[in-house]
A and B are shown apart, each in its own frame.
Chain A
């Protein structure tokens, strides 16, 4: 797996410090940057786990028709126009006129006439196989509605709904007339019944101060006695009788007919696969030839809110054709992006591609991903990108893992990969993000900046880094420290020393803290008062995964 950087969202834990990366809980608290949101009000990162989601619109993914939320339930969450899914391969079906009965194989130039069939362009399933043809190529769902409505399962469901409807309405009514504590528990039920009638009856039966309570359903003048109330008592419900016996319902599974079918089976293809059957919500037919085209399920556009301040973090445009957002507060626009590069991996890949140049493409896939061999030292590069329009100063620090405090100390310690990370500990700047057209004018400015940086760097580099360079004593380029600055990107080099007995992945938590100028200072001259208090600080944790460690024995075997 390629090296990755994941960002921390503190929603799962009470403390701001994330769990160490070797614990299983770590993977739940860290997310890729592109999935995170940023709440400006709270000044905090929000992930998909903690935001509250609400549906802003429903639409059909095939015809892009926006379905008003009022009719979504009536249409059973599926497109009620012309969109159907192939029961065989789940592709969308097209309505085409059936072939003319006779003729030379050419279609007359005039208007094509019915009957029409539904036809899958992918697997060539057509609705005539199961005996469905249409008079006209529009309003297919309406034409199929009679099949759907007359199906025994949907009739049964309607009856069941009717049966409970009366009960729900009376209990809702009773709840609204009786005490408030009862009201809350029944409120959810009343939502499912017709909300208009419920509201009307609730309004009629509202308590009037000073007037004695009258409960028309319970026929008791004492409002307190609702515990014995007949309408509220669940046990008093009339027994439900199903329309038909379960065994007789087609496709209910089991029984003699299925055994007979299995005995006369000739091909596996005659039995519908699980995937095909699961698309049907009620009856899942056993035979492929019983599968019917299904209306395409609706999709929804959702907006998300911050859990703390309920401000909207992301809100799509209402139109289903549009892929834009009205509000979009992505963390990628606030936090510096980090990309990991492993120079030794790149070298390996280059060598591989050279070697594979003459070979076919398939051979390249088989190559095992090269990891890091235990006992060696590797360099890595962090490529930081500043998304802000202001310059930022970043400080990186690797979180120490105190294994002794972790539960199950010794065993944990033995398994934990012992490796040491060295990263520059000093602050380093990243230039502001500018639109592409701005770069053209600023080119000469960058040269000056780089010179200044060079002078500044010497003094600000930490002692350990300089020590490391001196010890090497060779004329090779430095590996730890700021390696390159270009536009709004800064490349920082680091080194990892892997212990001889190391196993697992090189994975460590890294705290990224940065200072930036707050929005209020935008009007002021940049750089004139660099130490003014309007400079703000933000910090977040990341987990860096540099990839697996290959133990020495394995490495030797590969060679």
Chain B
């Protein structure tokens, strides 16, 4: 295996802390916030993260596949989650200490509950509005009511972090700057 070549493309409006472990070819979109102590590993293929995402502490995002791992816009990765999905849509929440395997693709507006393991053996796509919750990782469909509320809250959350994080952390800039 050839050594991993680091190439970080970080949008000028993104907030990425210095104390973040990045490896491989990584692109981070506008307004995305990466807390300190997060880990993003592009072992094989590159990772592309959209805009407005929040990636909290101790999150691990890994791409083991050759193809590009695409993460959409306004997703929330909570503390200590581990994500290896080849693709993630928009407005998803991956809750604290949950784990999503590389066999799962996530569409839009999905929620992986706290501590849930989503580790199917066969490839699977989570439809829009799928909620995984509970100790047995049960699934249900969300009606979508309250999503405007949630999107609004997510935006405020990101705005707040964008203001506060640079006050207490050194930031990382992309290769271009």
Segment touching B, from A31-39, A96-104, A442-450, A501-509 = A96-104
Q: Which residues of B contact A125 (CB under 8 A)?
A: 140
CB neighbors of B among A51-94 (8 A): 88-89
CB of B143 within 8 A of CB of A126, answer yes
CB of A122 within 8 A of CB of B143, answer no
A388 to chain B, nearest CB (A): 43
Q: Which residues of B contact A117 (CB under 8 A)?
A: 145-146
* A123 interface residue per 8 A CB criterion: yes
Bound Cα distance from A96 to B146, whole angstroms = 8
* B5 interface residue per 8 A CB criterion: no
A439 to chain B, nearest CB (A): 37
* A269 interface residue per 8 A CB criterion: yes
* B131 interface residue per 8 A CB criterion: yes
CB neighbors of B among A92-119 (8 A): 96-100, 103, 105-107, 117, 119
Which residue of B is nearest A112, CB measured?
Answer: B149
Q: Which residues of A contact B114 (CB under 8 A)?
A: 122
Which listed residue (B134, B142, B148) contacts A124, Cβ 8 A? Answer: B142
* A129 interface residue per 8 A CB criterion: yes
CB of B134 within 8 A of CB of A99, answer no
Bound Cα distance from A119 to B153, whole angstroms = 15
* B151 interface residue per 8 A CB criterion: yes
CB neighbors of A among B108-126 (8 A): 111, 113-114
Say yes or no: A105-B151 contact (C-beta < 8 A), given A122-B113, A123-B131, A123-B134: yes
Bound Cα distance from A232 to B133, whole angstroms = 57
A121 to chain B, nearest CB (A): 9
CB neighbors of B among A148-188 (8 A): none
Bound Cα distance from A128 to B146, whole angstroms = 11
Bound Cα distance from A269 to B130, whole angstroms = 14
* B127 interface residue per 8 A CB criterion: no
B120 to chain A, nearest CB (A): 17
Say yes or no: A123-B133 contact (C-beta < 8 A), given A129-B143, A269-B140: yes
A528 to chain B, nearest CB (A): 60
CB of B145 within 8 A of CB of A107, answer no
Which listed residue (A103, A105, A126) contacts B145, Cβ 8 A? Answer: A126
B94 to chain A, nearest CB (A): 14
Bound Cα distance from A42 to B154, whole angstroms = 61
Bound Cα distance from A129 to B140, whole angstroms = 13
Bound Cα distance from A117 to B143, whole angstroms = 12
B91 to chain A, nearest CB (A): 10
Binary interface profile of B, 41-63, with partner A (CB < 8 Å = 1, else 0)? 00000000000000000000000
Q: With contacts defined as CB atoms under 8 Å apart, how many contacts are there between chain A and chain B in the complex?
A: 49
Say yes or no: A107-B140 contact (C-beta < 8 A), given A122-B133, A123-B131: no
Bound Cα distance from A119 to B147, whole angstroms = 11
Q: Which residues of A contact B149 (CB under 8 A)?
A: 96-97, 99, 107
Say yes or no: A99-B147 contact (C-beta < 8 A), given A106-B152, A123-B140, A124-B111: yes
Interface bin, chain B: 10 to 19
Say yes or no: A107-B152 contact (C-beta < 8 A), given A99-B146, A124-B140: yes
CB of B148 within 8 A of CB of A107, answer yes
Which residue of A is nearest B131, CB measured?
Answer: A124
Bound Cα distance from A123 to B149, whole angstroms = 16
Which residue of A is nearest B146, CB measured?
Answer: A119
Say yes or no: A98-B131 contact (C-beta < 8 A), given A107-B152, A124-B111, A269-B140: no
Q: Which residues of A contact B133 (CB under 8 A)?
A: 89, 122-123
CB of A119 within 8 A of CB of B145, answer yes
Which residue of B is nearest A103, CB measured?
Answer: B148
CB of A128 within 8 A of CB of B140, answer no
Q: Which residues of A contact B140 (CB under 8 A)?
A: 88, 123-125, 269
CB neighbors of B among A261-319 (8 A): 269
Bound Cα distance from A129 to B131, whole angstroms = 15
A395 to chain B, nearest CB (A): 48
A94 to chain B, nearest CB (A): 9
Bound Cα distance from A97 to B148, whole angstroms = 10
CB neighbors of B among A230-273 (8 A): 269
Bound Cα distance from A105 to B145, whole angstroms = 12
CB neighbors of A among B76-134 (8 A): 111, 113-114, 131, 133-134
Q: Which residues of B contact A124 (CB under 8 A)?
A: 111, 131, 140, 142-143, 146
Q: Which residues of B contact A119 (CB under 8 A)?
A: 145-146
A168 to chain B, nearest CB (A): 45
Q: Which residues of A contact B142 (CB under 8 A)?
A: 124
Bound Cα distance from A129 to B114, whole angstroms = 23
CB neighbors of A among B134-166 (8 A): 134, 140, 142-143, 145-149, 151-152
Q: Which residues of A contact B113 (CB under 8 A)?
A: 122-123
Bound Cα distance from A223 to B131, whole angstroms = 71
Q: Which residues of B contact A122 (CB under 8 A)?
A: 113-114, 133
A316 to chain B, nearest CB (A): 30
Bound Cα distance from A96 to B145, whole angstroms = 10
CB of A128 within 8 A of CB of B134, answer no
Bound Cα distance from A306 to B147, whole angstroms = 55
Bound Cα distance from A291 to B162, whole angstroms = 42
Q: Which residues of B contact A106 (CB under 8 A)?
A: 148, 152
CB of A99 within 8 A of CB of B145, answer yes
Q: Which residues of A contact B134 (CB under 8 A)?
A: 89, 123
Bound Cα distance from A88 to B148, whole angstroms = 22
Q: Which residues of B contact A129 (CB under 8 A)?
A: 143
Bound Cα distance from A475 to B67, whole angstroms = 66
Q: Which residues of A contact B147 (CB under 8 A)?
A: 99
Bound Cα distance from A107 to B152, whole angstroms = 7
CB of B148 within 8 A of CB of A105, answer yes
Which residue of B is nearest A122, CB measured?
Answer: B133
Closest A-B pairs by Cβ, 6 of them: A124-B142, A99-B148, A123-B133, A124-B131, A107-B152, A126-B145
List 16 extra interface pairs beyond A105-B148, A105-B151, A124-B140, CB under 8 A.
Answer: A89-B133, A98-B145, A99-B145, A99-B146, A103-B148, A105-B152, A106-B152, A107-B148, A117-B145, A122-B133, A123-B113, A123-B131, A124-B111, A124-B142, A126-B145, A129-B143
Chain B positions near chain A (C-beta within 8 angstroms): 111, 113-114, 131, 133-134, 140, 142-143, 145-149, 151-152
A-B contacts, 30 of them at CB < 8 A, read A89-B133, A96-B146, A96-B149, A98-B145, A98-B146, A99-B146, A99-B148, A99-B149, A103-B148, A105-B148, A106-B148, A106-B152, A107-B148, A107-B152, A117-B146, A119-B145, A119-B146, A122-B113, A122-B114, A123-B113, A123-B131, A123-B134, A123-B140, A124-B111, A124-B131, A124-B140, A124-B143, A126-B143, A128-B143, A129-B143
